[in-house]
Amino acid sequence: MKKLKLQNDSYKILLSDFKQWLDILGYAESSVYGMPIQLQEFFYWLECHGHSDLSKVTPKDIKKYYDALKQRANERRDGGLSKSYLNKHQNALRKFRNYLIQHNASTPLRIHLKYETNATEERTNILTQSEIKALFLATDYSNTRECIRIRDKALLVCLYSCGMRRNEAIQLDLKDILFDKQRIHIRKGKNYKERFVPLNRYNLRMLEDYMYDARPNFYKAAQSEALFIGTQGTRLCGVTVLDRVKTIANATGDKSIIEKNISPHTLRHSIATHLLQQGVPIESIKTFLGHSSLVSTQVYTHLLKTITDEDF
């Protein structure tokens, strides 16, 4: 869908400004890249159906677009778009509506769509606690270099134990690990909101092992303030973090883990679900994850209903 060409100049400007807005607010690389593509598809559909004025687009028009989207063929495999991908399109539209509101649009989009739900599909995005343990154990042999293996373990601490978004983890600096307070200071969360995340002694020890034993072995480590650095001495990028998570998953040799095709966000989903299952108040989980709204956290309440005790 990236090849769709827009003719409407106002749509082109909105698309460019929307992408810049996401980037300025500190959204993850995947969101800054993906949401504009999904919005571009919406604009293209509007053009094809004679809608040149966004202010005149009605909820009925948006529903027609969404129905057409559900009929669109999947470019990567047989069949239509997955329900999770359809939800991403909905999220892009809703985020674009927020953009319009913040920019004082006279008539922001009215979106009357229901999220797609599929218990089987959602369950595959959650790892069991035994699978999480397998990931941590796999860092003992996830790379031939010891410093990378120890960095892998520290990454899992941030992504799972601390429930961080990928972008939050890579933006951490050395000074953000507060050993004396047993906290991590996340300065660059979503929408640039700050929060503190608690650490137990076990997780602190793994971060300490990385910072003082492994990190100095990376090229130009002393010249960077970044907590996580790559082999070239620069701050680790999001693509590398995703690659390391998948490599760790493959290193487990566990078919069920490998088939889940996990990502950094899978680990965040997993810790949220595990905390909820253990009876942690949803308001506390909201603060832990850095959600702006309790509605975002309540998704895990629905998700927990699809998981049986045998899963854990």
| Residue 61 belongs to a domain | yes
pLDDT in tens, 193-209: 789 999 999 999 999 99
Do 199 and 183 meet the contact criterion of CB atoms below 8 Å apart? yes
Confidence at residue 76, expressed as pLDDT on a 0 to 100 scale: 61
* Angstrom distance (rounded) from CA 64 to CA 59: 9
User: 41 and 90 share a domain?
Assistant: yes
User: In the chain, how many domains are there?
Assistant: 2
Question: Which of the residue ranges 110-114, 224-228, 262-266 would you say has the lowest mean pLDDT?
Answer: 110-114
Residue among 268, 269, 274, 286 flagged as catalytic: 268
Q: By CB neighbour count within 10 A (0-12 exposed, 13-18 middle, 19+ buried), where does 56 fall?
A: exposed
User: 139 and 69 share a domain?
Assistant: no
Confidence at residue 302, expressed as pLDDT on a 0 to 100 scale: 59
User: What is the CATH number for 31?
Assistant: 1.10.150
Residue among 89, 166, 190, 269 flagged as catalytic: 190
| Residue 272 belongs to a domain | yes
DSSP 235: B
Question: Which of the residue ranges 50-54, 72-76, 105-109, 137-141 would you say has the lowest mean pLDDT?
Answer: 72-76
Confidence at residue 2, expressed as pLDDT on a 0 to 100 scale: 56
Buried b (16+ CB within 10 A) or exposed e, 208-242: eebbeebbeebeebeebebbbbbeeeebbebeebb
* Angstrom distance (rounded) from CA 46 to CA 96: 15
Question: Comparing C-alpha atoms, which of 141, 218, 132 is closest to residue 174?
Answer: 218
Active-site annotation holds for 103: no
Mean pLDDT of the region 59-73: 89
Single out the residue in 116, 146, 181 at which a domain terminates. Answer: 116
Residue among 65, 99, 160, 300 flagged as catalytic: 300
User: 103 and 216 share a domain?
Assistant: no
Write phi, then psi, for 298 (nearest 5 degrees). -65, -15
Active-site annotation holds for 165: yes
Residue among 183, 187, 188, 265 flagged as catalytic: 265
User: 195 and 286 share a domain?
Assistant: yes
Mean pLDDT of the region 152-161: 97
Question: Comparing C-alpha atoms, which of 111, 112, 109, 102 is closest to residue 54?
Answer: 109
Look up residue 220 and give its amino acid: K
pLDDT at 245 exceeding the cut of 90: yes
Question: Which of the residue ranges 79-83, 93-97, 174-178 would you say has the lowest mean pLDDT?
Answer: 79-83
State how far the alpha carbon of 271 is from the alpha carbons of 22, 41, 128, 161, in Å. 26, 34, 9, 7
Confidence at residue 120, expressed as pLDDT on a 0 to 100 scale: 44
pLDDT in tens, 102-136: 888 777 888 888 877 654 444 557 899 999 999 99
Active-site annotation holds for 112: no
Q: Which residues pair with 73 in a beta bridge?
A: 80
Provide the residue range defining the domain that includes 182.
Answer: 129-311
Single out the residue in 83, 116, 149 at which a domain terminates. Answer: 116
**pTM across the whole model:** 0.67
Active-site annotation holds for 123: no
| Residue 123 belongs to a domain | no
Residue among 89, 149, 165, 215 flagged as catalytic: 165
Active-site annotation holds for 145: no
User: What is the CATH number for 150?
Assistant: 1.10.443.10
Confidence at residue 310, expressed as pLDDT on a 0 to 100 scale: 41
| Residue 4 belongs to a domain | no
pLDDT class for 40, splitting at 50, 70, 90?
very high
Mean pLDDT of the region 10-17: 93
Active-site annotation holds for 190: yes
Element of type H or E holding 308? none
Confidence at residue 192, expressed as pLDDT on a 0 to 100 scale: 66
Residues in CB range of 56: below 8 A, 6 or more apart: none
Quote the mean pLDDT of the chain. Answer: 87
Question: Is the four-CA dihedral 47, 53, 58, 62 of positive or negative sign?
Answer: positive
